[in-house]
Amino acid sequence: MTSSAPQNAARRFVLDEAGFAQLTTIDARGYPVTRTMAAFLQDDWSVATVQRRLHRRLDQWRRNPRTEVVWTGPPRPGATNERPHVFDLNLLPPRLVAVRGDAQFMEPEWTEGVYRAAVTAQRAAGHTRAPLRDADEVATQLVGVLIRPILVRLEGFGEEAESFLFRP
């Protein structure tokens, strides 16, 4: 897939500005459950995350792997909203990157690699408050999950309220 200017801007937004993501799974009764968490956008638009084993969302993914990961943030510099489609809220549209896909559990070595890359980058940036786990602790305490994308939606990266949908 060829990257477009909005895709490149969205990727930079997620990697450099957005921080936490909102991740939605489906509970046992079929309702969406959303929580804020660390999630790492990959080059192919998949999303890697490492969870503590005790989280209920792991069971939710085992029952139903469908999920969505969303990053939101303030409007892009230079954004306009001169022609609202339905309502004029006198606001600029926020930026949004939404990756919809299916969760796949990682093998222990894969989890270790994702964890180690993320924690190394965080510590290099001076973020040292999270516990540093050794390989045995990662294997016994953490579970890696990769969200394989089926659809990506971008908002706030084009003109006015323009949005973009694509399949990676």
Contact between 37 and 49 under an 8 Å Cβ cutoff? The reply is yes
Amino acid at the residue 145:
V
Report how far residue 5's alpha carbon sits from residue 27's, in angstroms, rounded to the nearest whole number: 36
Concatenating the DSSP letter of every residue in 88-123 gives: --S-PPPEEEEEEEEEEEPPHHHHHHHHHHHHHHHH
Q: What is the CA radius of gyration of the chain?
A: 17
Q: Look at the domain 5-160 and name its fold.
A: Pnp Oxidase; Chain A (2.30.110)
Q: Where are the alpha helices (DSSP H) in 26-161?
A: 56-63, 108-124, 135-141
Q: Tens-digit pLDDT profile for the chain (168 aa)?
A: 457 999 999 999 999 999 999 999 999 999 999 999 999 999 999 999 999 999 989 999 999 999 999 999 998 888 877 877 778 778 888 999 999 999 999 999 999 999 999 999 999 999 999 999 999 999 999 999 999 999 999 999 988 778 999 999
